[in-house]
């Protein structure tokens, strides 16, 4: 008997749920001043984390979040059979020198800011196939390393248009496996009494290219991909939006959210009441000057760990569609005039009472 069942054209349902055994979030100073300040596990005041480059700082950030997720699950690094991780930097060096530096067998991923969706999807697939009891999924981003990688060195002091998002300095990590978390009710445990968070299905993203060429309007680049994945998820699982308590995109921001809601309405689907966006949850734009919202593959990862999963095990949400969104931006292809296609990997996360 296969543990994973094909659903529709591009989704999979898990016959046995994949448990999220722990989740950790470490955020930067600016994120630590925002609406979720009391929810992060740790807030890092020094953006360099004692290192001498932004890249090393981000690696350290990701490694710390991964180590914390292992600890919160009551495990040791040697208990982790496999790690899936990624980040935004060229050749994913934040992960190669970060999570991968822990010595765990490691599969590196790249899906821009949707990487946490890819990591959880492939991690869940591996758990479902029987590969491991404990699998680590992690992503990170850092405002300074991302600006250097994709746009302008910070010292240039360039002006940011209102469509621009602010790359989150943060890293989120989860341990997933085939059994529920062992410890009940400890502050570290992702289990509240008999309530656990489980992954029950995934919808793989497709590259959707509407031809946008604006590296300072990532929301517009990603919204069509989010629309595509949401519609395929609903169709593949035979659901309507009301079957979800929340549909949470990664980092569309104000601009991208409006495009997504419009596109879905034109397809006869209204998710206005239940849509949330991690990029809009992490900052208070009225006081933090973050323009369209937060972004980066750390954004959805820290919001998932700090805020979304607690809502599941707290019983506020019974079923959530978590869809980190990514813009396939590269400074080389961008400067050569190529478009910025989008992708969005969806994960169905549900409350399970065991």
Nearest to residue 299, comparing CAs of 175, 115, 152? 115
**Smallest gap from residue 55 Cβ to a second copy (A):** 6
Q: Binding a second copy by CB under 8 A: which of 65, 68, 126, 164? A: 126
Q: Binding a second copy by CB under 8 A: which of 86, 177, 224, 296? A: 86
Site size toward a second copy, by CB under 8 A: 63
- Max CA separation in the chain (angstroms): 59
**Rounded to whole angstroms, how far apart are CA atoms 315 and 257?**
26
Q: Binding a second copy by CB under 8 A: which of 50, 130, 155, 211? A: 130
Q: Cα separations (Å) of 195 from 40, 85, 135, 189, 310?
A: 21, 27, 20, 11, 11
Nearest to residue 273, comparing CAs of 310, 235, 244? 244
| 241 interacts with a second copy by CB under 8 A | no
**Rounded to whole angstroms, how far apart are CA atoms 299 and 74?**
25
| 41 interacts with a second copy by CB under 8 A | no
**Smallest gap from residue 163 Cβ to a second copy (A):** 20
Six-digit token pair at 85?
Answer: 């991780």
Residue 7 φ then ψ, to 5°: -120, 120
What value does the CA radius of gyration of the chain take, rounded to a whole number of Å? 18
| 88 interacts with a second copy by CB under 8 A | yes
Give the single-character DSSP code of 118.
Answer: H
User: What mask of x and - would describe binding to a second copy in positions 305 to 344, judged by CB under 8 A?
Assistant: -----------------------xxxxxx--x-x--x-x-
Report the 10 Å Cβ neighbour count for 240. 10
| 105 interacts with a second copy by CB under 8 A | yes
Q: Binding a second copy by CB under 8 A: which of 37, 46, 76, 91? A: 91
Please identify, among the stretches 36-44, 160-168, 205-213, 293-301, the one whose residues bind a second copy according to the rule CB under 8 A: 205-213
| 18 interacts with a second copy by CB under 8 A | no
DSSP secondary structure, 244-280, as one string: -SEEEESS-HHHHHHHHHHHHHHTT---TTTEEEHHH
> To 10 degrees, the CA torsion angle through 40, 282, 95, 21?
50
Nearest to residue 137, comparing CAs of 342, 352, 319, 297? 297
| 103 interacts with a second copy by CB under 8 A | yes
Q: Binding a second copy by CB under 8 A: which of 39, 77, 96, 276? A: 96
Question: End-to-end distance of the chain based on CA atoms, in angstroms?
Answer: 23
| 295 interacts with a second copy by CB under 8 A | no
| 235 interacts with a second copy by CB under 8 A | no
Give yes or no for a contact between 85 and 137, defined as CB atoms under 8 angstroms apart.
yes
**Rounded to whole angstroms, how far apart are CA atoms 272 and 82?**
38
| 55 interacts with a second copy by CB under 8 A | yes
| 154 interacts with a second copy by CB under 8 A | no
Please identify, among the stretches 115-123, 189-197, 214-222, 295-303, the one whose residues bind a second copy according to the rule CB under 8 A: 115-123
Q: Pick between residue 80 and residue 306 the one whose CB is nearest to a second copy.
A: 80
| 354 interacts with a second copy by CB under 8 A | no
| 4 interacts with a second copy by CB under 8 A | yes
Q: Binding a second copy by CB under 8 A: which of 37, 46, 76, 129? A: 129
| 274 interacts with a second copy by CB under 8 A | no
- Length reported for the chain: 354
**Residue numbers at the binding site for a second copy (CB under 8 A):** 1-6, 9-10, 12, 53, 55-56, 81-82, 86, 88-93, 96-97, 100-101, 103-112, 118, 121-122, 125-126, 128-132, 149, 203-207, 209, 328-333, 336, 338, 341, 343, 345
């Amino acid at each position: 008997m296969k543990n994973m069942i094909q659903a529709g054209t591009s989704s999979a349902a898990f016959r046995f749920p994949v448990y999220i055994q722990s989740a950790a979030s470490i955020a930067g100073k600016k994120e630590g001043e925002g609406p979720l300040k009391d929810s992060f596990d740790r807030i890092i005041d020094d953006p360099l984390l004692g290192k001498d480059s932004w890249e090393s700082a981000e690696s350290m950030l990701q490694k710390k979040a991964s180590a914390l997720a292992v600890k919160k699950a009551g495990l040791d690094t040697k208990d982790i059979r496999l790690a899936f991780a990624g980040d935004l930097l060229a050749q994913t060096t934040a992960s190669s020198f970060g999570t991968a530096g822990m010595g765990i067998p490691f599969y590196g991923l790249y899906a821009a800011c949707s990487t946490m969706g890819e990591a959880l999807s492939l991690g869940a697939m591996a758990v479902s196939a029987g590969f491991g009891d404990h699998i680590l999924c992690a992503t990170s981003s850092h405002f300074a390393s991302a600006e250097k990688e994709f746009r302008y060195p910070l010292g240039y002091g360039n002006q940011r248009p209102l469509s621009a998002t602010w790359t989150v300095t943060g890293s989120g990590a989860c341990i997933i496996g085939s059994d529920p978390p062992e410890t009940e009710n400890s502050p570290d445990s992702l289990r509240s009494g008999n309530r656990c968070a489980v992954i029950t299905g995934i919808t793989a993203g497709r590259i959707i290219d509407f031809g946008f060429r604006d590296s300072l309007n990532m929301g517009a680049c990603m919204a069509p991909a989010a629309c595509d994945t949401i519609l395929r998820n609903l169709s593949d699982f035979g659901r309507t939006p009301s079957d979800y308590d929340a549909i949470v995109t990664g980092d569309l921001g104000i601009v991208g959210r409006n495009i997504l809601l419009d596109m879905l309405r034109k397809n006869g689907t209204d998710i206005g009441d239940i849509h949330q966006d991690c990029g809009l949850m992490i900052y208070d734009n009225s006081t933090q000057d973050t323009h369209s919202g937060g972004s980066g593959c750390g954004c959805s990862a820290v919001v998932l760990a700090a805020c979304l999963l607690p809502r599941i095990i707290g019983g506020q949400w019974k079923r959530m569609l978590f869809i980190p969104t990514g813009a396939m931006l590269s400074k080389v292809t961008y400067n050569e005039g190529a478009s910025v296609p989008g992708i969005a990997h969806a994960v169905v996360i549900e409350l399970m009472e065991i």
